Amino acid sequence: MKCFIEICLLVYIYCALVTAKACTSGWFGSECQFKCHCSANGVCDANGRCPTKCDKGWFGLSCQYQDLASTATTITITPRHATFTWLRDNDESTCNEDKNLASIHLTWNTPFPFTWLRLKFNSQGLTGLFTITFKTKHSFTMSCNNEYYSTADNTTVDYKCDINEEINDLTLTGPGLKSICSFYISGGRNVALRQPAVQTTTLESSSATLAVDGLTECTYYLGSTSHTYTFADAYPSWTLNLNAPKAVNRFVIYNRADCCLIRLKNFILTSFDINNNTLWTYQDPSSEPLLVYTFTTIQSDPVFKIRIVPTNKLSEDSHYVLSLCEVIMYGDCVPGSWGLECNKTCPMECSGSCHQETGMCFKCLGCTVCPSGQWGPDCTDQCSTACYNRSCDRTTGLCDKGCQGFANAPYCNTTCPSGQWGPNCTNQCSEKCYNGSCDRTSGVCDKGCDGFTNPPFCNAACPSGQWGLNCIQQCSENCYNRSCKVTTGVCDQGCIGFTDPPFCNTVCPVGQWGPNCTKQCTINCYNESCDARTGQCDEGCPELTNLPNSDTECPRGQWGSNCTNQCSGNCYRRSCDRTTGLCDKGCNGFTDPPLCSAVCPSGQWGLNCINQCSIHCYHRSCDRTTGQCDKGCHGYLNPPYCNTACPSGYFGINCINQCSMNCYNGSCNRTSGVCDKGCSGFTDPPFCTTACRRGQWGPNCTNQCSKNCFNGLCDSTTGQCSQGCQGFTNPPSCDTACPSGQWGLNCITQCSIHCYNRSCDRTTGACDKGCNGFTDPPYCTTACPNGQWGLNCIDRCSINCNKRSCESTSGLCDKGCNGFADPPFCTMVCPSGQWGPNCSNQCSENCFNGSCDSTTGLCDKGCNGFINPPYCDTVADLKTADLKTTDCPAGFHGTNCSLQCSSNCNENVCNRFGLCISCKAGFAGLYCELVTDTDSGGYTFTSGVGVGIVVGAVAVVIVVAAVLCRRRKKQPKHQSHDESNHGTILQVYRSVNKLNVYSHLNEETTEPDEVEADLRKSHEL
């Protein structure tokens, strides 16, 4: 039974291993939802652990946390050092070696929500031996009070602080820094990666999940963006559901890069909790579309779902369209859970919260209750004087009861606006304070009194005739009874000898005097001139003395019986003859003195219409009596005076018109509106109505669009590439050249594989370093001729290749080898006895020792039984063969003359086949191998031997016949019988050449040549 259970267990384990989901390279996790971040593109294991270290910008046990310390704009170390690469090299074995290290200061251009940081030391027991200080985006300095720490191991300490702020400045100080090796600031994990996503409609295969696939090659045509259906979705949206609620603090959204960026401008992102309740909504405020949108949130509610909807569309779009390249959400597990999938619960002893990566409880440093007015880890910091009642939070130091003399609680680092004071600047300074200014904490007048005498309380009014700051100024003598307003000094009872109350700074016109110039000088005064204050004749009196009290003549401006008529308003200075009423000093706004009945022509005014209306008047029209512009100003601002020129960028009547955007720097003539400094993006100054020609931009279209712009097109005003780049990657500036192997519009096209090293011109795509396997650079459209390969086909295929054919790019033999055995490399010579394509043929058995040339198959070491090397296909004809040896010395024959002639040959002489020319006495046969009976002239052998020889010969002949028959059946029809069997016959002949002599011992007329001839004859039959 036990054995059975063990077998079942093994089967279960095997099945589990077989069915376990295997992630593609670079991913891990139960659903392959986590991306590896290993250095040198290393591949992590199933738990995300890297073989060496995390890639730069990432840290953690599985390298899943973004390191914001690596993104710092500046890093300053005190004392200053030339280099400090050990701090940011992601190598925890490199550490600080300067024992004088006192502080590390980092700054960022973009604020971010602080969560926690990790410090790596090269020794133990350093917890609490340093201080963390922040500056928020409001420039408020904070300490990390109530520091919570967790130790992942003896030399790794993680810290978090009780703050919920966005920071852009961080400083570490303290003796613990002397042993620091690495420093990381958590930017959270990408909790959106490969989470379930849906959208209302889908265009082709551009599904919602493409926006969370971890790829940021943001081109729709490369299949890397989500896309709703263009013509059938009136209200498109994209929704992401997380596997569990997350604490999210940063969003990064990649727009598609190839076109249509404006569709995502001003998008709306809404977050929801697990019950589908709306948490918060964010709308992009950008004035221009962006490639990458980044924003943060310090909301504490866990996010379970987000939804994105567009608010912009192209002019040609009939519906809104939503296309997203990648949505990244940086965050972590909510309090109480931990682990990569946030599916683990914190231990009970952790009070509901633990380290999200390790599950270990955080411990608190300096968590004590401070006395009123104090705060910090040891309550040694004093609450700011800006805090109301000097009260602040014991952990953060923020003013918890508001500000005193400051406006932005709880930071209280912005002073009260002028004129406000007290708690949160809610009180208004007294109007008795000079310039409305008072002390922002007490409210007393800090710059003196306005119309009052006892600063700073200012509760006693100015004495009569005095005014202003602490009543030190005297009312003007132009004021009637020298009475003025105590705060402004303007005359509050009118003027004396002046006409413009309450300012009283315009002297009475000639002939007027008294309060507000309401009285007329007597006509008895010389030149009708009198003192403006007293009315006395200041130039004397003709024929009378001691006037102005004479009342025998009409007052100025009156005439007729009892002076009851008023002089016409058409008269200059309203002066007329006391008797006739005719204008005696000319007309005012009329042209025909003394009647003054004809109105001034348009554009004229004043005494007898001799003055021209100002050119500043619109249509040069003005009031005919005062000369003030009655229809507004032309190129000026303040009608009716029109003495202030239009501000830059404005023109026309009262400057209400804006200069055309076609004008350079928005500047135009303030009267006509024509562009006086040239055009911007237009060619015909000063009218600027003709747009720049294709490829031109700037002032009067004098600039040429950059050659880096696609099709040479750019924005006619800014010069930026409006349709993308040609050979460059970063529209619209287009100042970064294409990476190697890419070309064309925004470098989205790959160089042809026909280009050598896949290198091409980044603008045309032409192969700039030649062709690979093609012959016509730079186009590379014509393949290499047979037998050539490589750069511009200049290399020849190896002679080892079959038919000298090879692959045009690599040179490898594509049709096998010729005389070599290892295609496609063809470097191993055929084994002995083999030849031809891939050594698939066997050398002919006609070759000596079965040896032949590995490429041609010709016998390279001579023939075996044949006479015409290297072909070895002709049998020796013993009747016509040269019986003399001409090549070898006497006594030798065969290949290389290595064989000795038979010792029975006469004089040891034989031909090249070893046949004796003649035999010594007592011997006979082809090789003189037979002993003769010299007495009888016959051969001597026993009858038993003769019978045996005959029987043996018959047996051999039978075997030969059988072999020939079988070969005849197997040979191809086109192969001659003689070709296939002549070698065999010759071998058989050689096998029985000695026997056939014995078979003819009793036939006296038969010679050896006749024996061979008979054998050949039988072969031919």
DSSP state of 707: T
User: Sorting pLDDT into bands at 50, 70 and 90, what band is 124?
Assistant: low
pLDDT of residue 126: 58
**What's the one-letter identity of residue 129?**
L
Per-residue tokens: 846: 């006609």
User: Sorting pLDDT into bands at 50, 70 and 90, what band is 773?
Assistant: confident
Residue closest to 682 by CA, chosen among 671, 670, 668: 668
| Stretch 530-543: mean pLDDT | 77
User: Sorting pLDDT into bands at 50, 70 and 90, what band is 1019?
Assistant: very low
Residue closest to 746 by CA, chosen among 716, 712, 708, 714: 708
pLDDT of residue 377: 53
d(CA 242, CA 646): 59
| Terminal Cα distance for the chain, rounded | 82
- Domains of the chain (ranges, CATH numbers): 66-187 (2.60.120.260), 190-334 (2.60.120.260), 554-599 (no CATH), 604-645 (no CATH), 646-691 (no CATH), 882-940 (no CATH), 944-1020 (no CATH)
How many residues are present in the chain?
1021
Mean pLDDT of the chain: 83
Per-residue tokens: 964: 């020939």
pLDDT of residue 454: 85
Residue at token pair 């304070």: 433
Query: Tens digit of pLDDT for each residue in 75-86?
Result: 888 887 656 778
Per-residue tokens: 300: 């504490």
| Stretch 985-1009: mean pLDDT | 36
Beta strand ranges found along 200-312 (DSSP E): 226-227, 238-254, 268-272, 278-283, 292-296, 303-309
Cβ–Cβ < 8 Å for 194, 241:
no
Query: Tens digit of pLDDT for each residue in 813-822?
Result: 999 999 898 9
User: Sorting pLDDT into bands at 50, 70 and 90, what band is 417?
Assistant: very high
Residue 324 forms beta bridges with which residues? 226
Query: Tens digit of pLDDT for each residue in 857-883?
Result: 999 888 987 888 898 987 655 444 444
Query: Tens digit of pLDDT for each residue in 920-972?
Result: 988 988 789 888 854 443 333 333 333 343 334 334 334 434 434 444 443 43
d(CA 163, CA 154): 26
What is the chain's Cα-based Rg? 57
d(CA 121, CA 180): 4
Residue 916 forms beta bridges with which residues? 910
* Candidate from 277-286, 375-384, 593-602 with smallest mean pLDDT: 375-384
| Stretch 141-161: mean pLDDT | 81
Query: Tens digit of pLDDT for each residue in 691-715?
Result: 999 999 999 999 999 989 998 899 9
DSSP state of 576: B
Per-residue tokens: 581: 């009423």
Cβ–Cβ < 8 Å for 174, 131:
yes
Residue 565 Cα distances to 445, 509, 578, 585, 590, angstroms: 58, 21, 9, 17, 20
pLDDT of residue 157: 87
* Candidate from 63-77, 406-420, 904-918 with smallest mean pLDDT: 904-918
Cβ–Cβ < 8 Å for 448, 429:
no
% of the chain exceeding 70 in pLDDT: 84
pLDDT of residue 877: 52
d(CA 590, CA 577): 17
Is pLDDT larger for residue 554 or for residue 735? 735
Cβ–Cβ < 8 Å for 255, 327:
no
Cβ–Cβ < 8 Å for 609, 625:
no
Q: Map residue 185 onto helix, strand or coil.
A: strand
Q: Would the pTM of this model clear 0.75, i.e. be above it?
A: no
Residue closest to 999 by CA, chosen among 1017, 1015, 1018, 983: 1015
**Measured on CA atoms in the order 84, 87, 88, 90, is the torsion positive or negative?**
positive
Asked whether residue 828 carries a pLDDT value surpassing 90, the answer given is yes
Residue closest to 767 by CA, chosen among 757, 775, 777: 777
Residue 173 forms beta bridges with which residues? 103, 131
Query: Tens digit of pLDDT for each residue in 455-492?
Result: 888 988 899 899 999 998 999 999 999 999 988 899 99
DSSP state of 262: G
* Candidate from 308-312, 382-386, 945-949 with smallest mean pLDDT: 945-949
Asked whether residue 106 carries a pLDDT value surpassing 50, the answer given is yes
Residue 66 forms beta bridges with which residues? 58
pLDDT of residue 146: 65
Q: What is the DSSP string of 476-508?
A: PTTBGGG-B-TTT--BSS-BBSBSSTTT--SBP
DSSP state of 468: S
pLDDT of residue 931: 87
User: Sorting pLDDT into bands at 50, 70 and 90, what band is 823?
Assistant: very high
Residue closest to 365 by CA, chosen among 559, 131, 138, 164: 131
Q: What is the DSSP string of 215-239?
A: -----GGGT-SEE--SSS-SS--EE
Count of C-beta atoms within a 10 Å radius of residue 273: 14
Is pLDDT larger for residue 659 or for residue 538? 659
Taking the C-alpha atoms of 282, 285, 290 and 296 in order, what is their torsion angle to the nearest 10 degrees? -40
pLDDT of residue 64: 94
d(CA 759, CA 255): 29
